[in-house]
DNA sequence: TCTGGGGTCCTAGGACCC
DNA sequence: TCTGGGGTCCTAGGACCC
């Protein structure tokens, strides 16, 4: 009987692979996908990685290089990627006992004790690639954190890698802490200060020192790296904890009317999303930010309000967001981004009765009718709380691909 | 000129209470 | 007149991830 192993599925160059699904002619052609506002590179094909373009680099800095490389550039189209992601992991879910989707392109799963791991993961890979057409890699090891590292080896080899105990032990002295999932710039700096360079160094540190220096995060990391499953594979809760909507402006603004308009827009999006989930929230947070580059980078912040009763009412949420915006706003500061976030999400059916009579007007029917219209239009036909007719802060997308799978009019013709 | 958006989790510090 | 210390909750911010 051997120890339980964990696998990590990772879609290769996911956003690029999604675009290629509908443009097979782009196979082996350098392709990048950009973030909203065409700000920076968020996905790169192998050809792009090979010419040394890093992840997250601002688009304007590499425009020329891309042109010379005859690269094809897409504006990010997240609704399409989400839809394809759903299809990929629907297939995976059929193949495994327990699956935990970790991000839009990754999921953990357990290898069954009685399975031959190599054959098991090879079958998953083949099935996904045949049925959906998105290439994937799979790494397997003793814990999530180890599996994550195994998947980086998988990507460099033939897409599958099983890292057993013996191999892991032979590797730990070569793996640098900053290569580990969960170790970012902050933790890496702290490790360096304490003379911890490799994973082996971290493993040798005694528990009380780990606690004192790194707190619970360090303790968690140490166990995971030692092959102890601290975080088992769990199918995610049905409901996420928070929902967020935010966007950078194409240019900064000091105008509170524009900021309030943006906040109202994000709030409407979230309220509609809550209603489509059949959920409500008990907390709303508004945040405003300046550019990270320049003199005002420390200005801005966030404020939140907790509701007495859960709500998904656009009117109530917008009123709250507006109040928070007024409190946050400082004249003369060039703001670049507005975000709205809700938390304490619960299903409406779980909604506890309040002790106090609900004196708010019943807006349910009106909001429902509005949702139906807006959803079928694929955009905001009817809005609440918008006083401006400005698109100053909205996204520009130069090269977005059509909404192949999410809007009927743009549906791709697929021949069997 | 132009540097993303959407999540989860942890923690520091203040308010408040006994 | 003396004016403590510990616990808990809340808020804001930050680290980290893809």
Residue A391 in any domain: the answer is no
DSSP, res A39? -
List, as one string, the DSSP characters of A106-158: EEEEEEPTTS-HHHHHHHHHHHHHHHT---EEEEEESSHHHHHHHHHHHHHTT
Q: Classify residue A18: in a domain, yes or no.
A: yes
Residue A136 token pair = 């994937």
* pLDDT value for A416: 36
Q: Is the distance between the Cβ of A56 and the closest atom of strand B smaller than 7 Å? A: yes
Nucleotides in C strand less than 7 A from protein CB: 10-18
Note the strand B nucleotides within 7 A of protein beta carbons.
Answer: 1-12
Residues A314, A347: one domain?
A: yes
pLDDT at A405: 63
- Any strand C atom closer than 7 Å to A304 CB: yes
Does residue A32 sit in the same domain as residue A173?
Answer: yes
Alpha-carbon Rg for chain A in angstroms = 24
Q: What Å distances lie between residue A401 and A34, A74, A387, CA to CA?
A: 11, 7, 31
Q: Can you give the pLDDT at residue A168?
A: 98
CATH number at A119 reads: 3.30.70.270
- Claim to verify: residue A215 and residue A311 sit in the same structural domain: no
Asked if A81 and A228 sit in the same domain, the reply is yes
| Nucleotide closest in space to A190 (CA vs C1') | C15
Please list, in sequence order, all residues whose beta carbon lies within 8 angstroms of the beta carbon of residue A127, skipping any fewer than 6 positions away.
A91, A95
Rounded (5°) CA angle A208-A212-A217: 95
Q: SS3 of A384, please? A: coil
User: Looking at residue A37, what is its pLDDT?
Assistant: 84
Question: So what's the pLDDT on residue A268?
Answer: 95
Contact flag, residue A326 CB and nucleic strand C, below 7 A? no
CA angle A260, A78, A52 (to 5 degrees): 110
Are the C-beta atoms of A45 and A16 separated by less than 8 Å?
yes
The integer distance in angstroms from the CA atom of A300 to the C1' atom of C14 is: 14
Same domain, A183 and A314: no
The CA angle A323-A325-A326, to the nearest 5 degrees, is 65
Over chain A (416 residues), the average pLDDT of each successive run of 10 is: 88 98 96 92 96 94 96 94 96 95 96 96 98 98 98 96 97 97 95 95 92 90 95 84 92 92 95 93 94 79 92 95 94 93 87 60 84 82 69 55 58 42
Q: What pLDDT, on a 0 to 100 scale, did the predictor assign at position A415? A: 37
Nearest by Cα to A121 from A10, A7, A3, A11: A7
A69 with A174, same domain: the answer is yes
The domain of A346 spans 242-377
Total domains in the fold of chain A: 2
Structure confidence at residue A190 (pLDDT): 94
* φ, ψ for residue A337, nearest 5 deg: -150, 140
A196 in the same domain as A320? no
Whether any strand C atom is under 7 angstroms from the Cβ of A106: the reply reads yes
The CATH code of the domain that includes A265 is: 3.30.1490.100
Give the residue carrying structure tokens 């100053």: A392
Rounded Cα–Cα distance for residues A314 and A268 (Å):
6
The verdict on A318 and A222 lying in the same domain is no
Q: What is the DSSP secondary structure assignment for residue A205, as one 8-state letter?
A: S
This prediction has a pTM of: 0.90
pLDDT at A160: 98
Relative to beta strand A31-34, strand A72-75 is parallel
Residue that finishes a domain, picked among A173, A206, A238? A238
CA distance A200 to A202: 5
Alpha carbon distances (Å) from A394 to A79, A153, A195, A389, A410: 17, 40, 47, 11, 22
Residue A182 within any structural domain of the chain? yes
Q: Is the CB of A182 under 7 A from strand C?
A: yes
Q: Which residues pair with A306 in a beta bridge?
A: A283
Question: Domain check: are A215 and A320 in the same one?
Answer: no
Between CA A216 and C1' B10 the distance (Å) reads: 9
C-beta of residue A259 within 8 angstroms of C-beta of residue A335:
yes
**HSE of A390 in the Cβ direction (CA atoms, 13 Å)?**
17
Query: Is there contact between A395 and strand B, defined as CB under 7 Å from any strand atom?
Result: yes
Q: So what's the pLDDT on residue A251?
A: 87
Which residues of A spanning 76-105 put their CB closer than 7 angstroms to strand C?
102-105
- Give the residue carrying structure tokens 């790494």: A139
Q: Does A217 contact strand B, using a CB cutoff of 7 Å? A: yes
A181 touches strand C (CB under 7 A): yes
* A230, A188: one domain: yes
Report CA(A408)–C1'(C4) in Å, whole number: 69
pLDDT, position A414? 40
Please tell me whether residues A248 and A216 are part of one structural domain: no
Report if residue A346 sits inside a domain.
yes
């Amino acid at each position: 009987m051997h120890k339980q192993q964990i696998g990590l599925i990772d879609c290769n160059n996911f956003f690029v692979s999604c675009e290629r699904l509908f443009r097979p002619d782009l196979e082996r052609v350098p392709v990048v996908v950009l973030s909203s506002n065409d700000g920076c590179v968020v996905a790169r094909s192998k050809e792009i990685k090979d010419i040394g373009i890093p992840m997250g680099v601002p688009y304007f800095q590499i425009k020329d290089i891309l042109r010379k490389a005859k690269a094809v550039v897409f504006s990010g189209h997240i609704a399409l990627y989400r839809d394809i992601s759903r299809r990929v992991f629907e297939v995976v879910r059929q193949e495994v006992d327990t699956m935990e989707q970790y991000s839009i392109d990754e999921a953990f799963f357990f290898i069954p004790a009685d399975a031959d791991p190599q054959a098991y993961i090879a079958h998953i890979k083949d099935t996904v690639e045949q049925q959906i057409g998105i290439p994937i890699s799979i790494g397997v090891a003793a814990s999530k954190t180890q599996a994550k590292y195994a998947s980086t080896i998988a990507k460099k080899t033939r897409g599958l890698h099983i890292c057993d105990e013996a191999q892991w032990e032979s590797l730990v002295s070569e793996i640098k802490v900053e290569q580990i999932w969960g170790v970012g710039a902050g933790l890496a700096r702290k490790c360096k200060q304490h003379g911890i360079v490799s994973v082996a160094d971290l493993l040798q540190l005694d528990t009380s020192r780990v606690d004192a220096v790194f707190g619970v995060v360090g303790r968690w990391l140490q166990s995971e790296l030692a092959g102890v499953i601290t975080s088992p594979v769990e199918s995610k809760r049905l409901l996420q904890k928070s929902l967020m909507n935010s966007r950078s402006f194409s240019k900064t603004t000091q105008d509170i009317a524009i900021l309030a308009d943006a906040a109202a827009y994000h709030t409407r999006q979230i309220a509609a999303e809550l209603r489509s989930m059949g959920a409500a929230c008990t907390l709303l947070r508004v945040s405003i930010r300046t550019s990270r580059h320049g003199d005002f980078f420390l200005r801005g912040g966030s404020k939140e309000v907790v509701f007495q009763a859960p709500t998904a009412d656009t009117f109530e949420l917008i009123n709250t967001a507006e109040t928070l915006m007024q409190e946050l706003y400082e004249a003369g500061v060039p703001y670049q981004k507005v975000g709205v976030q809700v938390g304490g999400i619960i299903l409406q059916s779980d909604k506890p009765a309040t002790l106090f009579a609900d004196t708010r007007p019943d807006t349910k029917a009106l909001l429902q009718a509005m949702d139906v219209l807006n959803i079928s239009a694929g955009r905001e036909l009817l809005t609440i709380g918008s006083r401006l007719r400005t698109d100053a802060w909205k996204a520009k997308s130069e090269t977005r691909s059509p909404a192949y799978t999410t809007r009927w009019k743009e549906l791709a013709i697929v021949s069997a």
